[in-house]
Structure 1
Amino acid sequence: MSFDLPADVILPVRNVSVRLDPAPHPFGVANEEAIAQHWQRAVADNPALFNGEVALLSSLRIDNGDLLGRCHIVRYATFLYWRSLRPISGAGHAYTHAMLVSAENALVAIRMGPSTINAGLVYFAAGSFEPVDFRDGRADLEFNMHREVGEETGIDLSGVRHEDRYHLLSKTTGTVLFRRYFLDRPADELAEEIRRHVAAEDDPEIEGPVIIRDPNDMPDRLAAQMPGLIDWHFSTPREA
């Protein structure tokens, strides 16, 4: 098992191959009792938590510009226990960000809702890889991004122009794989669409949209990965 990524540096990625291992994650097997106890405490604090299935990594590394990884499906309880200990050897987390870019080059992020584990945090609509996000045993990044953005914001990314290449940023909180999507509408219009989607949901995951118009326009409670991504966006020209 290995996690061999430079920390706090944004890097381009040529190819991504994160494979699903059907075996139980060794971290979950070794910590079964502690996971159950931690979950009982977590649910007592937040009864809205759901013990669904997510992917937890057992290895992740860069090899000549390719990102190679192995993951296992675990219960959310296992992920939360890992999160309470991170960083630890042998287990890690990767997720995606579709960076929504408006017609005037503003970023459109979201603030998480009060019933979620990340209540109040600001980042781009995202979620952990779930079993549905794998194709032939390999993580489908685009499907995951489109699914999460659609579920949380109501915005359909099908056919939206985007950069072909992914970039990554690895931090102790996890590794984010991201690329920009260029929408041909103003940020205020996109934000209003998101608000309508949230208002129509019985139990929305997010509180609402957050518009970031320049690198000095930093909202409060940014997730750990966000300052680096914001600076990168406003200092990096669009790919041709």
Structure 2
Amino acid sequence: MTPLSVLPVDRLELSLVPFDWRFAVERRAEIDAHFATLQRRLPHVWNGRVLLMRDHALVDGTVRAHLFEADFASFMAWRDWGFPDTSVTNAFAMGALRGRDGGFLLGEMSAGTANQGKVYFPCGTPDPSDARDGTVDFAGSIVREMQEETGIGPNEYEQGAWFMVPAWPRLALIRILQARLPAATLCERARAHMAAEDHPELARVYAAHGPADLDDSVLDFVQAFLRHVWR
């Protein structure tokens, strides 16, 4: 397997551009049937709106890209059917929350979620609430998802450097969030938040301090990023 690249990023310029996704239009009946089957297995999944990426480029430290709005059912069908439209990318922002002792907080997705059992940094598929005046705010998406999944707010960390990890059909844009508390305390905070939720998105959290803390449940682009930071 070819190692994934971890590329430093200085700036994001992400635009929301209207786009008529032919895949979603031409396979509508199949998509709806597929999603109905998915909902019978995962009843908490609902057909909201998400943002997907059509193209991107990293030039002189700046990521420039166009995103468009689609329904979650079409996104899931595209994913589950092996990504038949290769012009589309699943792009998202992740917050790599690092404790003052260097440990990073990782979370395992709960049963009943679309990515159950997978381990990665708190994040979510961008949605229309992340777009303002034609610009998509991935930094704001990170803050929202971190708060929702762990209860840890933006006053508890400093937002640091960005990195891009291309792993088509996924494109991870990862930002280091440097916390003032040690990683174990961050995990305790997150567990308390999860315990108070009726349907927490995370099943468990733990701190990763080095490669020995990674296993096959940790997604490949997260492993690539962490090994890059730890080297």
Whether 1:94 and 2:91 are equivalent positions in the alignment is yes
Equivalent pair of 1:21/1:70 in contact (CA under 8 Å): yes
Equivalent pair of 1:56/1:73 in contact (CA under 8 Å): yes
TM-score (norm 2): 0.92
Partners of 2:196 and 2:73 in 1: CA distance: 29
Equivalent pair of 2:94/2:174 in contact (CA under 8 Å): yes
Q: Alignment partner for residue 162 of structure 2, among 156, 162, 166? A: 166
1:179-198 correspondence runs (5 A)? 179-198=175-194
Whether 1:66 and 2:26 are equivalent positions in the alignment is no
Unaligned stretches of 5+ in structure 1? 1-5, 236-240
Partners of 1:109 and 1:217 in 2: CA distance: 10
Secondary structure of 1:230's aligned partner = helix
Amino acid at match of 1:143: G
1:113 Cα deviation after fit: 0.6
| 1:128 aligned partner | 125
Number of equivalences? 229
Whether 1:107 and 2:104 are equivalent positions in the alignment is yes
Whether 1:138 and 2:135 are equivalent positions in the alignment is yes
TM-score (norm 1): 0.89
Q: Alignment partner for residue 18 of structure 2, among 5, 18, 22? A: 22
Partners of 2:171 and 2:205 in 1: CA distance: 23
1:45 Cα deviation after fit: 2.1
Equivalent pair of 1:82/1:91 in contact (CA under 8 Å): no
Moved more, 193-202 or 207-216: 207-216
Moved more, 131-140 or 142-151: 131-140
Partners of 1:30 and 1:211 in 2: CA distance: 44
Partners of 2:4 and 2:85 in 1: CA distance: 17
1:224 Cα deviation after fit: 2.5
Equivalent pair of 2:156/2:179 in contact (CA under 8 Å): no
What is the RMSD computed on CA atoms of the aligned residues?
1.8
| 2:9 aligned partner | 13
Whether 1:175 and 2:175 are equivalent positions in the alignment is no
Structure 1 vs Structure 2: percent identity of aligned residues? 26
Secondary structure of 1:158's aligned partner = helix
1:125 Cα deviation after fit: 0.3
| 2:39 aligned partner | 43
1:234 Cα deviation after fit: 1.1
1:203 Cα deviation after fit: 1.0
Secondary structure of 1:225's aligned partner = helix
Q: Alignment partner for residue 154 of structure 2, among 130, 151, 157? A: 157
Partners of 1:160 and 1:222 in 2: CA distance: 23
1:22 Cα deviation after fit: 2.8
Equivalent pair of 2:23/2:85 in contact (CA under 8 Å): no
Amino acid at match of 1:170: P
